């Protein structure tokens, strides 16, 4: 498990190095495709518009306009416990959700802190907590220096029912309206 945490942290660091790149995401947006249910929705807290979609173990998640849901993980595109909500025009601005255990989520947050603590590209690292509905998301937030300027990176988790959900975010602050709308909307099967 420790190796997985390091691999995920390395992937996150690599994706952040590429953040701000002008390359457009080549994936075509296709809400409602295999495994996705789509319903047009307005997120009440943030007054954002978008759709409510589903994937695998995720019964509902709000996907703001200009973003898309992609099921699966980097390793397994069919992984029912993982999904991405990412900007349609920049895949390096994303939310990656993974169902895990609370213990593993805590280890992932600790590994993120350890991996980035001495980086000259990381500033403003701090422990964070966000209350969304009935759930408290806790973890770490920092700014990562890209060639286009500092970009927020967050790793948090919440216990929802009997499951722990880990979310890694790049390009979105832990307390932004978009973050709150997406996290507040999350419902599991």
Distance in angstroms (rounded) separating the CA atoms of residues 146 and 188? 34
30-62 residue pLDDT tens = 444 444 444 444 455 548 999 999 999 999 999
- Quote the CA–CA distance of 104 and 108 in Å, as a whole number: 6
pLDDT at 19: 42
Mean of the per-residue pLDDT values of the chain: 83
pLDDT higher than 70, residue 68: yes
Q: What pLDDT, on a 0 to 100 scale, did the predictor assign at position 133?
A: 86
Q: Are 98 and 166 in contact (CB under 8 A)?
A: yes
- Torsion from C-alpha of 132, 135, 140, 143, nearest 10 degrees: -20
The CA distance from 37 to 83, in Å, is 14
pTM: 0.77
- What is the pLDDT at residue 37? 44
Domains, in order of start, for the chain: 2-188 (3.40.1000)
DSSP labels for 3-72? HHHHHHHHHHHHHHHHTT--PPP-SPP-TT-TT--EEEEEETTTTEEEEEEEETTEEEEEEETTEEEEES
Residue 11 has pLDDT above 90, yes or no: no
Report the pLDDT value the prediction gives residue 43, as an integer from 0 to 100. Answer: 52
Phi first, then psi: what are they for 41, rounded to 5°?
-145, 155
In what side-by-side order are the strands of the sheet with 38-43?
38-43, 48-55, 58-64, 187-188
């Amino acid at each position: 498990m420790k190796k997985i945490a390091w691999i995920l942290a390395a992937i996150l660091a690599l994706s952040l190095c590429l953040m701000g790149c002008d390359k457009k995401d080549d994936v075509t947006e296709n809400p409602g495709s295999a495994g996705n249910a789509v319903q047009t929705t307005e997120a009440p807290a943030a007054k954002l518009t978008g759709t409510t979609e589903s994937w695998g173990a995720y019964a509902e998640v709000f996907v703001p306009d200009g973003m898309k849901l992609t099921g699966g993980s980097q390793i397994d595109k069919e992984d029912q416990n993982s999904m991405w909500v990412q900007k349609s025009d920049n895949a390096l601005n994303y939310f990656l959700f993974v169902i895990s255990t609370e213990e593993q989520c805590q280890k992932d947050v600790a590994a993120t802190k350890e991996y980035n603590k001495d980086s000259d590209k990381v500033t403003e690292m701090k422990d964070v907590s966000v209350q969304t509905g009935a759930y408290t998301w806790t973890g770490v937030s920092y700014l990562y220096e890209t060639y286009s300027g500092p970009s927020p990176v967050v790793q948090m988790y919440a216990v929802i029912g009997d499951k722990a959900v880990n979310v890694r975010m790049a390009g979105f602050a832990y307390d932004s309206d978009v973050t709150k709308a997406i996290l507040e909307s999350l419902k599991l099967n």
